[in-house]
A and B are shown apart, each in its own frame.
Chain A
Amino acid sequence: MITIDKISKQFGQLNALDDVSAQCDSGECIALIGPNGSGKTTLIKSILGMVVPDSGTILFNNKSIAHDCSYRANIGYMPQIGRYPDNMTIGQVIDMMKDIRRSHTQIRDEELLEQFDLKSILGKRMSTLSGGTRQKVSAALAFLFNGDVLILDEPTAGLDPVASEILKEKIIKQKQAGKLILITSHILSELDDMVTQIIYMQDGKLRFHKQIEALRTETGEIKLSRAIASVMLQN
């Protein structure tokens, strides 16, 4: 589905991505893990076209994403911080997204809108919302268009436990529906039930990309957090 081939990116002196290659297939739920500044966000942004790599190519369904924007119709993205124009209402933000994507014939998935109870507060302005509510809006928007790929950047940060649980269930459901899901998260315990693969990054390099089962057998740990910790100790 997504093929990342030897991409590198420098920000000034910093090597944000250093010769990263990976293959992500549908039906997988891949966790991007690594310390702060390891290049996770840059990798996600590269896939979304927000950052243009200095070298290397990214293929989406075997087509290069360079100078293209139409492939993003297949991606639902939930940013780490969701901020929207202050004077727009939730309803207007959703309408705008629908307008933008109108030309793409997809079945809309409004399940999260309902589960997060957003439909009752469509008239509220974005500037009056709490951080958590804005995250809910971001999540709902990411899933709204039923994209083949979901990219979630720290999805549960700022969400209350109930909402967090709703979101996790939604992610699992989508995985089972055969979608490719990319998640970055600091809270490894949350990922246990969901992820099928781990990409571990450090200093802009991709250290390993493994099936979670393989990782567990290698380290002998059941818990993902423990398994990762033991890998980090080995390095």
Chain B
Amino acid sequence: MNKVIKYVFIDIVRNRIVLAYTILLSIISFSVFSLEDTSAKGLLSLLNLILFIVPLVSIIFSTIYIYNSSEFIELLVSQPLMRKNIWLSLFSGLSISLTLAFLIGAGVPIMIYQPNATGCIMVVMGCLLSLIFVAIAMMSAVSTRDKAKGIGAAIFLWLYFAVIFDGLVLFLLFQFEDYPLEKPMMVISALNPIDLSRIIVLLRLDVSALMGYTGAVFKGFFGTQSGFVVSLLVLILWVAAPLAWSVYKFDKKDL
């Protein structure tokens, strides 16, 4: 299996878009840190950008890559290889290279300006978001043969997690404003990896005081050791579940 990973990785690392992504992240990170007067504020501004860019690039790039590789995938399938391994190799190749791009582009500046636990958590969140959206991309790419439809689905999924989901949350909050919603909100936030990682990082910054009672309830859970572990597990589940589903689909797919 790692025979294929190696070559997929070599291919993606040389890709111009991945290179551009790395440079973009790097420019954004360094300029945000040097523009804000404190590096803690820089981290906060960077959080927004990372939550926007990383999922978008990860999902779109991966989807397009899978579609462009369809003939190559066919060739691999005609070789004495398990389909499961081919698919996991593609996932690994994509996620290793995109994570690497994130680590170089954003991880390095964060570690230079904020070499503390919060900075580390932000880097971990960025890596996990890369993995999650590669997995989601593979799910959308395996569902339809039509490239245009697949990329459309990927964009929609990104839009859903980045914006629409929060709109629904807002709607729910106003529909049920007479009820205590803090606890249900914790469960709901687990349904969106972008929200979950945003909240985990925000709670570690001193702006968490702004979040009032809601923030206090969230901090009471996510701020603890076990809460942090649980939320990490939830994020890992967000990688594993779409990936497992896409492997299952690919195993049965007619090429």
A residues with CB within 8 A of B: 9, 11, 45, 48-52, 69-73, 75, 77, 79, 81-88, 92-93, 95-97, 99-102, 104, 141, 151
Known: A83-B72, A84-B72, A88-B7. Is A52-B14 also a contact (CB below 8 A)?
no
CB pair B3–A100 under 8 Å, yes or no, is: yes
Return the chain B residue nearest A75 by Cβ.
B78
Give, as a whole number of angstroms, the nearest-CB distance from A180 to chain B: 16
CB pair A48–B77 under 8 Å, yes or no, is: yes
CB pair A50–B7 under 8 Å, yes or no, is: no
Contact of A85 among B69, B79, B255 (CB under 8 A): B69
Known: A88-B11, A96-B3. Is A82-B71 also a contact (CB below 8 A)?
yes
Besides A85-B11, A95-B7, A100-B4, 12 new A-B residue pairs in contact (Cβ under 8 A), listed by A number: A45-B254, A50-B74, A51-B255, A69-B82, A72-B78, A72-B81, A83-B72, A85-B8, A96-B7, A100-B3, A101-B80, A141-B75
Within 8 A of A (CB), among B38-92: 68-72, 74-83
- In the bound complex, CA of A48 to CA of B75 (Å): 10
- In the bound complex, CA of A81 to CA of B69 (Å): 12
- CB-CB under 8 A from B80, the residues of chain A are 69-73, 100-101, 104
Count residues of chain B with CB under 8 A from any CB of chain A.
28
Q: Is the interface of B mostly helix, strand, loop or mixed?
A: helix
Return the chain B residue nearest A81 by Cβ.
B71
CB pair A100–B81 under 8 Å, yes or no, is: yes
Give, as a whole number of angstroms, the nearest-CB distance from A20 to chain B: 16
- CB-CB under 8 A from A151, the residues of chain B are 78
CB pair A79–B71 under 8 Å, yes or no, is: yes
- CB-CB under 8 A from A101, the residues of chain B are 79-80
- In the bound complex, CA of A92 to CA of B3 (Å): 11
Give, as a whole number of angstroms, the nearest-CB distance from B77 to chain A: 5
Q: What are 21 A-B residue pairs whose CB atoms fall within 8 Å in the complex?
A: A48-B77, A49-B77, A50-B77, A50-B78, A69-B83, A72-B78, A79-B78, A82-B75, A83-B72, A84-B72, A85-B69, A86-B11, A87-B14, A88-B10, A93-B7, A95-B7, A96-B4, A99-B3, A100-B76, A101-B80, A104-B80
Of the listed residues B8, B75, B83, the one surrounded by the most CB atoms of chain A closer than 10 A to its CB is: B75
CB pair B79–A72 under 8 Å, yes or no, is: yes
Known: A49-B77, A69-B81, A100-B81. Is A87-B254 also a contact (CB below 8 A)?
no
- CB-CB under 8 A from B76, the residues of chain A are 100
- In the bound complex, CA of A100 to CA of B76 (Å): 9
Return the chain A residue nearest B73 by Cβ.
A50
- CB-CB under 8 A from A73, the residues of chain B are 80
- In the bound complex, CA of A9 to CA of B254 (Å): 10
Of the listed residues B8, B15, B72, B252, the one surrounded by the most CB atoms of chain A closer than 10 A to its CB is: B72
Contact of B15 among A45, A87, A92 (CB under 8 A): A87
- CB-CB under 8 A from B81, the residues of chain A are 69, 72, 100
- In the bound complex, CA of A96 to CA of B70 (Å): 17
Give, as a whole number of angstroms, the nearest-CB distance from A216 to chain B: 33
Within 8 A of A (CB), among B1-36: 3-4, 6-8, 10-12, 14-15
- In the bound complex, CA of A127 to CA of B41 (Å): 44
Give, as a whole number of angstroms, the nearest-CB distance from B162 to chain A: 29
CB pair B254–A11 under 8 Å, yes or no, is: yes
- In the bound complex, CA of A84 to CA of B7 (Å): 11
Pairs of residues from A and B, 3 with the lowest C-beta to C-beta distance, nearest first: A83-B71, A87-B14, A85-B11
Contact of B74 among A79, A92, A95, A102 (CB under 8 A): A79
- Against A, the Cβ 8 Å flags (1 = close, 0 = not) of B215-255 are 00000000000000000000000000000000000001011
- In the bound complex, CA of A151 to CA of B252 (Å): 22
Contact of A52 among B7, B68, B70, B252 (CB under 8 A): B252
- CB-CB under 8 A from B83, the residues of chain A are 69
- CB-CB under 8 A from A81, the residues of chain B are 71
- In the bound complex, CA of A67 to CA of B76 (Å): 16
- CB-CB under 8 A from A86, the residues of chain B are 11, 15, 68
- In the bound complex, CA of A45 to CA of B15 (Å): 30
- CB-CB under 8 A from A99, the residues of chain B are 3, 6-7
